[in-house]
Amino acid sequence: MSKRTFSIGGVHPHDSKISRGCPICPLPVAPTVYISVAQHIGAPSVPCVAVGDKVKVGQVIAEPGGFVSAFIHSSVSGTVKSIGPRPDLAGRPVTHIEIAVEGDEWADTIDTTDTLITEIPSDNKAIVEKIRLGGVVGLGGATFPTHVKLSPPPGSKCERVIINGCECEPYLTSDFRTLLEKGEQVVVGAAILRQVMGNVPCTIAIEENKPEAIVHIREVIEKLGFEGIEVMEMKMMYPQGGEKQLIDAVMHRQVGSGALPISVGAVVQNVATALAVYDAVQKNKPIVDNSVTVTGECFPNQANLLVRVGTPLRYILDYLGGIPADAAKIISGGPMMGRAVANLDAATVKGTGALLLLTEAQTRRGKESECIRCGRCADACPMGLEPFLLQKLSRNSDVEALEANAAQDCIECGCCLYSCPANIPLLDWVRLGKGLAMGAIRARAAAAKAAAEAAKK
Amino acid sequence: MSSTIIWTIAVVTVLGLLLALVLYLVAQKFKVEEDPRIDEVEKAMPGANCGGCGFAGCRAFAEAAVKAPNLDNNYCPVGGNDTMAKVAAILGYEVKAKAPMVAVVRCNGTCAVRPRVNEWGGTESCAVKAQLYTGDTACAYGCLGCGDCVKACQFGALSMDSETSLPVVDQDKCTACGACVKACPKKVIELRPAGPRGMRVFVSCLNRDKGPVAKKACASACIGCGICAKTCTHEAIVVEGNIAYIDASKCKLCRECEAMCPTGAIHGVNFPKPLDKDAIKERIKIRNQKAKEAVVISSEAEKSQKKEDKKDE
C-alpha cells in the first residue's frame, strides 16, 4: 500500500532533523520562573495565589477564566514573588506569576514514580475531569484546551482518534524523541483518548522519516496488547501535522471552511498531548514541564530538554553554552510556523516546542519583485486558497473580498511564502488579511448576539 | 444628383428630429429628481475625495449634507470653516465654526533616546509589524517607524525623518482628514486643535508602562510622575494609566508643564521664543512659596480667631 498524505498543496522542505540523536534530558530548574496566565487559546486564567504564598510543584496557581480555558499549575516549588504584567515572546505585556524556586517539592497527590500504569479507569467523565484539572492543552502548537476537544457538541459523533506524530516541521525532534523514549505512555494515552471518545479506532500517524519510531510504537502496541490502535506510516509532506491536513491524509475526509474536525468524525491530538493525558489520568501529574528542542546548524550543543513551564529562554540557552556569535535570529517553534523571539527574557509556556537558532544567511529574505503569475503559491496552499490574490486584497484592506476568498481559512503554514519565486512576503500580508476577515466575522457574530438579546427583552 | 443630396439631408434631419423627440420623452418619463443644491454644494467642496468627513467622497458628502436637518454631523475638515460657510450659505443652515485641527505625532522616541533591542527584517509595514510583535524597541506603545501614515496621506503632509525614524507632519499641508490616524496601528497620531498661530502644547508619548520600565525603554518617555498635572494652574492635565494628557481646550499655553517635565515628553511647538526653563521654574517656585506663606498666614489667622472665640466663651 502506498503511503498516504493529504490531497491539496503542500511543500517538501529539507527535514533538517539534526537533533534526532539527542535524548530528552531534564533541564536543571531555573532560580526564578515566570508562569504566564495566557498559555492556551481562550480566556486567560485567573491567578488564585497571592504574593508570599508557598507553592509546590503541581499546585494550582491559576484557575480557568471561562469554558475554553485551562488550569495552570506551579512548575516549581518556592515562593510567589509577584503577579503582574511582563513582556511575552512578542513583547506584549501578559500577566505572569513570578516564583522564586526553593528546593523541588512535589504535591502529595502526584505519582512521581516511573511505573507504567496500563489499567485505564472505566469512568469516562472522571477521566475528562482529570484531564481538565491537569491543565492539559493541545501541545502541537495551537494549545487548545484538551477537555473541550473531548467534549464534542451534542449530535456529533467521533469515528476515529488520530494521534499526530508527524512532526512535519523541519528541525523539530521533541515528538520523535518522546515516541522513542515514552512510547508506552503515549500508547496508553492514546488508549485513554479512544476510550473517552467511545472506543473508536485510533491511528497514530508517523511520517516516514522516523522509521525507528514507527517500529518502536508497533512493538509497544503489540507488547501492551491494546486493541484498536494502529500505526500509519505517512509520506513526508509539510504541513501534514496540520489538523485538517492530517484528517484528509488518514481518513480521506475534508473539513469544511470554519468547521471543526468533529464535523467529519475526527479528533486529533498530538503525541505530546497523549503523553500529558497519560500523566494527568494515570499519575495525577498536571502539565508542569514539556520537551523543547534546542537546535540550529550554528548551535553546537543541540539538545532535547525537558523544561519546566515558565523557564526564561535566556536560562535555557545559557545552560547549553550561550548564544553563538553567528546566530542572527532565534525562533520559538519551527522554521515554517515559528515566531521570531523579540525578547529573550520571555519565559516558556506549555506550547513552547522548540528554540531554533539561525544564521544571518539562513534568515535573510530575498529581494521582493513583482508577481509573475506563476501560481506556485496557489499550488502549494494546503487549504486551497489563492495567496497571490489574498495578499493584494490585504494590502488594500478589502475586508469583504478577503472574507469571500476565505482568508479566514489560512492556517499560516507558510507554504506560499516558501514557494514564491518572486520573494513576495505572502504570509505577512495574508496573515494580516486573515486578521481583518476574522475581525469582521467576530464583529458580525457579536452584533447578531446583541440583537438577539435585545429582541428577547 | 442634387435631388439625392436634398433627399439625404431631409431624411437625416427628419430622422434626427424624431429621435430627439423620443429621447426627450424618455428623459422626461424616467427623470431622476435630484436636488440642484447637491451640485452646488459639490462645487463648493475642495474635491479631494479623501474621505476625511466620513463619507465616500465629496459628492457623497454633498448628498448627505443636503438631506441632513443641520450641519452638526457634516463637517469637511479639509475645506475647513471657509468651505463650510459656503455650504451653509447654499443650504441656508447655520454652521458652527470649528477650531482648525492638525495631525500630531504623539511619540518622541527618536533613535537616539529609544534604543533598538531587535531588528525587524520583515515587510516594511506598520500593520504587518504590529500584528506580529510590539516592535524593535522595548516600548510597546510608540511609533513603529514603517511609515503606514506616510503612505496613507493624500496631501503629502507626512514624511519620515530618517534621523529620528519618526514621521513629521507638515502643518501647512495637513488638512486633518484623519487618514493617518486610521492607518496607524498604534494610534500614535492624534488630531488636535492647531492652536492660535499654530502654537500648541502636547504630551508626545503614549507609554503606559510604569515609570522605571518606560524610562528604560525610552529616555524621553512620559513616566506618569504627575509633576505636570501638579504644576498646571488651569487643570488642563490629567494623568491616567501612567500617562499624562493635555486637554487642548483648557490649555492656556503657559508652557510651565513643558519646563517642568523631567523627561522632555511634553512638546510646545510654533512659539515665537524658545523655552526659558529656568525663568519658568523660578516663577513657579516664587508662586509656590507665596501660596505656602498664604496657607501659613491663613492657618495662623484661623488659630488666632479660635483663640479669640475661646476667650469670648
Mean pLDDT, residues A132-152 taken together: 91
Residue A379's pLDDT is what? 95
Are the Cβ atoms of B131 and A429 closer than 8 angstroms?
Answer: no
- pLDDT band (50, 70, 90) for residue B49: confident
Question: What does the alpha-carbon distance between residue A403 and residue A438 come to, in Å, rounded to a whole number?
Answer: 8
* Chain B closest-CA separation from residue A167 CA (Å): 24
> Which residues in chain B are contacts of A329 at CB distance < 8 A?
121
Among A25, A135, A146, which residue's Cα sits nearest to residue A75? A135
ipTM above 0.95, yes or no: no
Q: Which of A314, A337, A432, A434 to mutate to test the interface with B (most CBs of B within 10 A)?
A: A432
Question: What does the alpha-carbon distance between residue B284 and residue B276 come to, in Å, rounded to a whole number?
Answer: 13
Are the Cβ atoms of B123 and A429 closer than 8 angstroms?
Answer: yes
Least confident window among A208-212, B65-69, B131-135: B65-69
Please name the residues in contact with A455: beta carbons below 8 A apart, sequence gap of 6 or more. none
* Chain B closest-CA separation from residue A231 CA (Å): 37
Residue B6's pLDDT is what? 94
Q: How far lies A251's CA from each of A3, A140, A149, in Å?
A: 13, 20, 19
Is B297's pLDDT higher than 90? no
Q: Give the pLDDT confidence of A9-38 residue by residue, as tens digits.
A: 999 999 999 999 999 999 999 999 999 999
Minimum CA–CA partner of A425 in chain B: B123
Is A136's pLDDT higher than 90? yes
Residue A221's pLDDT is what? 95
For residues B163 and B186, the answer to whether their CB atoms sit within 8 Å is: no
Residue B54's pLDDT is what? 84
Mean pLDDT, residues B268-287 taken together: 90
Are the Cβ atoms of B128 and A429 closer than 8 angstroms?
Answer: yes
Residue B273's pLDDT is what? 87
* Chain A closest-CA separation from residue B221 CA (Å): 17
Minimum CA–CA partner of B132 in chain A: A90
- List the beta bridge partners of residue A78: A55, A101
Is B310's pLDDT higher than 80? no
Is B306's pLDDT higher than 90? no
Which chain A residues touch B if contact means CB-CB below 8 Å?
87, 89-93, 329, 339-340, 342-343, 363-365, 425, 428-429, 431-432, 435
Is A360's pLDDT higher than 80? yes
Q: Which of A93, A363, A428 sits opposite B140 (nearest CB)?
A: A93
**Rounded to the nearest 5°, which phi and psi values hold at B159?**
-150, 155
Residue B188 cell numbers, joined? 500614535
Residue B311's pLDDT is what? 66
Mean pLDDT, residues B141-156 taken together: 93
- pLDDT band (50, 70, 90) for residue B53: confident
* Chain A closest-CA separation from residue B210 CA (Å): 11
Residue A1's pLDDT is what? 52
3-class SS letters over chain A: CCCECCCCCCECCCCCCCCCCCCEEECCCCCEEEEECCCCCCCCCEECCCCCCEECECCEEEECCCCCCCCEECCCCEEEEEEEEEECCCCCEEEEEEEEECCCCECCCCCCCCCCCCCCCCCHHHHHHHHHHCCCECCCCCCCEHHHHCCCCCCCCCCEEEEEECCCCCCCCHHHHHHHHCHHHHHHHHHHHHHHCCCCCEEEEEECCCHHHHHHHHHHHHHHCCCCEEEEEECCCECCCCHHHHHHHHHCCCCCCCCCHHHHCEEEEEHHHHHHHHHHHHCCCCCCEEEEEEECCCCCCCEEEEEECCCEHHHHHHHCCCCCCCEEEEEECCCCCCEECCCCCCECCCCCCEEEEEEHHHHCCCCCCCCCCCCHHHHHCCCCCCHHHHHHHHHCCCHHHHHHCCHHHCCCCCHHHHHCCCCCCHHHHHHHHHHHHHHHHHHHHHHHHHHHHHHHC
Sign of the Cα pseudo-torsion (B244, B246, B250, B252, in order):
positive
- pLDDT band (50, 70, 90) for residue A140: confident
Is B313's pLDDT higher than 60? no
Q: Give the pLDDT confidence of A305-335 residue by residue, as tens digits.
A: 999 999 999 999 999 999 999 999 999 999 9
Question: What does the alpha-carbon distance between residue A288 and residue A311 come to, in Å, rounded to a whole number?
Answer: 11
Mean pLDDT, residues B99-128 taken together: 91
Least confident window among A227-241, A322-336, B55-69: B55-69
For residues B196 and B249, the answer to whether their CB atoms sit within 8 Å is: no
Q: Which of A330, A391, A423, A428 to mutate to test the interface with B (most CBs of B within 10 A)?
A: A428
For chain B, what is the mean pLDDT? 90
Q: Which of B117, B118, B144, B242 to mutate to test the interface with A (most CBs of A within 10 A)?
A: B118
DSSP string across chain B: -HHHHHHHHHHHHHHHHHHHHHHHHHHHHT-----HHHHHHHHHS------TTSSSSHHHHHHHHHHSSSSTT---TTTHHHHHHHHHHHHT--------EEEEE-----TTTS-B-S---S-S-HHHHHHH-S-SBS-SSS---S-HHHHH-SSS-EEEETTTTEEEE-TTT-----HHHHH-TT--EEEEE--GGG-EEEE-----S-HHHHHHH-TT------HHHHH-SSS-EEEETTEEEE-TTT-----HHHHH-SS--EEEES-SS---HHHHHHHHHHHHHHHHHHHHHHHHHHHHHHHHHHHH-
For chain A, what is the mean pLDDT? 93
Mean pLDDT, residues A405-433 taken together: 94
Minimum CA–CA partner of B126 in chain A: A432
Mean pLDDT, residues A371-376 taken together: 94
Are the Cβ atoms of B135 and A91 closer than 8 angstroms?
Answer: yes
Is A429's pLDDT higher than 80? yes
- In chain B, % of residues over pLDDT 90: 50
For residues A393 and A407, the answer to whether their CB atoms sit within 8 Å is: yes
Q: Which of A90, A343, A428 sits opposite B123 (nearest CB)?
A: A428
Are the Cβ atoms of A342 and B133 closer than 8 angstroms?
Answer: yes
Among A178, A165, A158, A146, which residue's Cα sits nearest to residue A20? A178
End-to-end CA distance of chain B: 136
Higher model confidence: residue B73 or residue A246? Answer: A246
Question: What does the alpha-carbon distance between residue B76 and residue B72 come to, in Å, rounded to a whole number?
Answer: 11
Residue B205's pLDDT is what? 94
Q: Give the pLDDT confidence of B197-252 residue by residue, as tens digits.
A: 889 999 999 999 888 989 999 999 999 999 999 999 999 999 999 999 999 999 99
A-proximal residues of B, 67-126, CB under 8 Å:
117-118, 121-123, 125
Least confident window among A192-196, A374-378, B38-42, B149-153: B38-42
Mean pLDDT, residues A107-135 taken together: 92
Residue A234's pLDDT is what? 94
Least confident window among A413-422, B66-75, B188-197, B258-267: B66-75
For residues A204 and A190, the answer to whether their CB atoms sit within 8 Å is: yes
Residue B68's pLDDT is what? 85
Q: Which of A91, A363, A364 sits opposite B133 (nearest CB)?
A: A91
* Chain B closest-CA separation from residue A314 CA (Å): 15
